[in-house]
Structures are given as structure tokens and as C-alpha cells.
Amino acid sequence: MSTIPATQQAWIEERRGPPAQSLRLRTDWPVPSDLQPGEVLIKVQAAAMNPGGYKMMKLLPNFARGRPLPAEMELSGVVVDGNGTEYSDGDQVFGFVTPELAKARKQGALCQYVRLPTSLILPRPPSVTPLEAAGICAVSITSYHALVELAQLEAGQTVLVYGGSSSVGIAAIQIAKALGAKVVASASGKNEAFVRGQGADEFIDYTKQPIHEYLKANPPSPKFHAIVDAIGLMDPSLYTSSPAYLAPNGIFISAGDLPSMSQLWHFCKLLAAIVWPRWLGGTPRKWRLIRPTLGHMGDVQALVAKGSLKLPIDSVYDFEDVLSAYDRVVTGRATGKVVVKIDPTI
Ligand SMILES: NC(=O)c1ccc[n+]([C@@H]2O[C@H](COP(=O)([O-])OP(=O)(O)OC[C@H]3O[C@@H](n4cnc5c(N)ncnc54)[C@H](OP(=O)(O)O)[C@@H]3O)[C@@H](O)[C@H]2O)c1
């Protein structure tokens, strides 16, 4: 067994604010030593970034986020203390830290050692590298929940993935194809080849014309069974116009997002559109927010092992260069996961 140090390097969220103000690279952060039954200790190899990470950093006050704590949630690594669970020292795994666990146990991904319950990790198949594995979990269980549990998507049905070049969108395209569905996906024109490469059968460039207007003028036949908004749109138009292109028993599913100050008006209009009763002229289509559940970890693992699910990497940054990784995520233009290499030997 490798020697486990008492302290580690970790990017700690110390206060509310943008990453450059909130984060500090600490060298004295304690390595967890008080594992509870069912928890393992993992030496982190790579961490993957999510837009939710920097948005929570900017918006949530310290008490709501549980600061100080290591930033980010998705990771890959090696088990260094199996703690009597089904995992042994040396097992290669990937997984994620839920916001609840992060707050309660002060855990995160941008550090060298993390303690996690076995319900939040999966064995890493050898076909996937540690850098690739780091970014699989959160977006994949998110998209799996949307397509399988909420939409109950079946082979032969058609789904629209709005935001097909986002990580949630990429996972949604690949999972929908694995289910045998037809996929229409949107992104900006520069990403058409990339989105088709993920498996999309048809492509719509949302920068040429508002997509709800395009779909009203060119409705699919039959209408979509489901629409997955993989961006978390604040503008309600794609939803409120959906009777023109979403089947009457279809469902509109949103990845959700935290509104900025400038989006508050759109956000209020979206909320009104969702709650307004149909008998008062509300949109006669179901709207649901994605709420990923851990019950789908095994399903995601099976798809990854079969080669049906693979998240492309947008870019890789060194551990010392985390602020540049945030700069990339903040652009909102990444195609695939932004990954931080934590173990320089991988
Ligand atoms: N509910 C959940 O459990 C959950 C879990 C994970 C993520 N999320 C949320 O899901 C959303 C997406 O996260 P992500 O990690 O997948 O994002 P991401 O990978 O950073 O998304 C980047 C992509 O988004 C596209 N994009 C940016 N703005 C767009 C717009 N206005 N319309 C259409 N496409 C746009 C860009 O494509 P173009 O350059 O082609 O525009 C870019 O390729 C975020 O709001 C995140 O917070 C929710």
C-alpha cells in the first residue's frame, strides 16, 4: 500500500466570488483519515469541470456551500484504502462528489485525496483513460435520467437535443442512440461535424434562426417524443412553442441553470410558462427538470464498458493551472469536458 500523507495540495473554495477570488491552492489541507463504513479513500488522478462549479462559487454564500472545501465534483483515481468494502487498494475508479456530500464532509475533486462512499464510484474500464473517465459520471447520470426515467425513450422514437455540443448534450445524444432512438441535435454551425460525430442523425444551427421558429416552420413528422434542453435555457420560447413540434404526450426536459441578474426577467417568464395552467392558456406539454439519481450509476457503467458512451475531452490543464481551466469553462464554448490532470504521472 502506498504511504498516505497527512496533508495534501487542494484548490480550496474559500469565499464567494469568481474562481480567481474564491480559490486558493493550499498545501496543508488534511487528507481524510476518519473513513466511515462504506467509504473508501481515493488518490485522485484527474478532475473534470462543470459550469455548475463556478456558478455555485459565484452565487452561493459560504454557509449554503459549506466553505471552505475543495472545489468541483467529478474525478477519476485509484483506491488507496478500500476500508473493508468491495474495493481493494489499487482499484481504478471514477465517480463524483454530490453537493450534499461536499457540504457535509468537505470533499471535492480538485485535490489529491478524496473520501467517497462506494455508491458514488464505479470501476474504470481499461478502455477509458483516467483523463476521459474523470468527466463521465455527473453528465451521464443526468442525461440517462432525462431519457430513460423521464422521457421513457424507446427505439424508433425521435428526440431533440438542444445544445448537442455541451457535455450533457453529448451524453444525451450517445445514450439516445444506444437506446435505438433517432436524434436531432442543435449547436452553432461550427460544431456541426462534432455533433454529428457524437451520433446525431440531423443537425440544426441555432445561430441561423431561433430554433423554435425553425421548428415551427419545419415541424418533424412524427413530432418529437422528447426535447432535452441540455443548456438550461432561460428563454421560454422553445417550450412555449413546443405544441408545434412536440407530441401531445411528449415531454420537455431541462438541465436547469442558475439565472444571472441579466437573465432574471426571462427566468420569471419561464417559471410563469411552466406553472400557468393549461385551462388558462398555459403550454399543453409536460415540463420537467432533470434530477439525476444514483440508481443509474450501474447503467452508465454498462454503457461505458460497452463503448456506447464516451465523453470527448475539450482540453486538459495542469493542477497548478486550474484558473485557466475555469477561464475555458466560463466561455461556454467547450466541446466536451475540461479536465485537470492532478496526478502528473498519468
Ligand atoms: N441538472 C443537472 O443535474 C445538471 C448536471 C450537469 C450539468 N447541468 C447543467 O447543464 C448545462 C450544461 O452543462 P455542460 O457541462 O453540458 O455545459 P458545457 O459542456 O460547458 O457546454 C458548452 C457548450 O454549450 C453550447 N452553448 C453555450 N451556450 C449556448 C446556447 N445559448 N444555446 C445553445 N448552446 C449553447 C456551446 O455550443 P456552441 O458553441 O455551439 O453554442 C458549447 O459547446 C449547465 O447549465 C449545467 O449547469 C445540469
The CATH number that applies at residue 94 is 3.90.180.10
Q: Is 338 in the pocket of ligand 1 (CB under 6 A)?
A: no
- pLDDT the model gives residue 258: 81
Give the phi and the psi of residue 118 in degrees, each rounded to 5.
Answer: -65, -20
Question: Based on the domain organization, do 37 and 130 belong to the same domain?
Answer: yes
Within 8 A by CB and 6+ apart from 266, the residues are 234, 235, 236, 259
Distance 296 CA to ligand 1 centre (A): 21
- pLDDT the model gives residue 342: 98
In a domain, 40, yes or no: yes
Question: Based on the domain organization, do 113 and 149 belong to the same domain?
Answer: no
Residue whose CA is at the smallest distance from ligand 1 atom 48: 255
Distance 261 CA to ligand 1 centre (A): 18
**Could you report the per-residue pLDDT of 234-244, keeping only the tens digit for each?**
999 999 999 99
- pLDDT the model gives residue 1: 52
Distance 95 CA to ligand 1 centre (A): 20
In a domain, 322, yes or no: yes
**Distance between CA 140 and CA 310 in Å, rounded?**
10
Q: What is the mean pLDDT of residues 119-136?
A: 96
In a domain, 297, yes or no: no
In a domain, 296, yes or no: no
The separation between the first and the last C-alpha atoms of the chain, rounded to the nearest angstrom, is 18
From the CA of 207, give the closest atom in ligand 1: 41
Q: Is 138 in the pocket of ligand 1 (CB under 6 A)?
A: yes
In a domain, 305, yes or no: no
**Could you report the per-residue pLDDT of 201-220, keeping only the tens digit for each?**
999 999 999 999 999 999 99
Per-residue pLDDT at 2 exceeds 70: no
- pLDDT the model gives residue 318: 98
Distance 168 CA to ligand 1 centre (A): 7
β-partners of residue 98 are: none
Q: Is 107 in the pocket of ligand 1 (CB under 6 A)?
A: no
- pLDDT the model gives residue 8: 98
Q: Is 236 in the pocket of ligand 1 (CB under 6 A)?
A: no
CATH code at 285?
3.40.50.720
**Distance between CA 16 and CA 39 in Å, rounded?**
29
Q: Is 139 in the pocket of ligand 1 (CB under 6 A)?
A: yes
Q: Which three cell numbers stand for residue 262?
A: 441579466
Question: Based on the domain organization, do 145 and 264 belong to the same domain?
Answer: yes
Question: Based on the domain organization, do 260 and 160 belong to the same domain?
Answer: yes
- pLDDT the model gives residue 154: 97
In a domain, 181, yes or no: yes
Question: Based on the domain organization, do 199 and 227 belong to the same domain?
Answer: yes
Is 8 exposed, middle or buried, given 0-12, 13-18 or 19+ CB atoms closer than 10 A?
buried
Question: Based on the domain organization, do 73 and 84 belong to the same domain?
Answer: yes
Distance 256 CA to ligand 1 centre (A): 10
Q: Is 126 in the pocket of ligand 1 (CB under 6 A)?
A: no
Q: Please give the residue that has the higher pLDDT: either 190 or 2.
A: 190
**Distance between CA 242 and CA 227 in Å, rounded?**
9
Q: Is 301 in the pocket of ligand 1 (CB under 6 A)?
A: no
Question: Based on the domain organization, do 170 and 239 belong to the same domain?
Answer: yes
β-partners of residue 92 are: 78
Distance 227 CA to ligand 1 centre (A): 15
Question: Based on the domain organization, do 12 and 130 belong to the same domain?
Answer: yes
Are 12 and 24 contacting, i.e. CB atoms less than 8 angstroms apart? yes
Question: Based on the domain organization, do 324 and 219 belong to the same domain?
Answer: no
Q: What is the mean pLDDT of residues 277-283?
A: 85
- pLDDT the model gives residue 87: 98
E strands, 192-285, in order: 202-205, 224-229, 246-254
Q: What is the mean pLDDT of residues 135-156?
A: 96
Three-state DSSP class for residue 61: coil
Which secondary structure element, helix H or strand E, spans residue 47, and what is its range?
A: strand 39-48
Supply the range of the domain harboring residue 131. 7-136+311-341
Mean per-residue pLDDT of the chain:
96
Per-residue pLDDT at 127 exceeds 70: yes
**Could you report the per-residue pLDDT of 56-85, keeping only the tens digit for each?**
999 999 999 999 999 999 999 999 999 999
Please give the tally of structural domains in the chain.
Answer: 2
Residue whose CA is at the smallest distance from ligand 1 atom 42: 333
Question: Based on the domain organization, do 149 and 92 belong to the same domain?
Answer: no
Question: Based on the domain organization, do 190 and 127 belong to the same domain?
Answer: no
Distance 87 CA to ligand 1 centre (A): 33
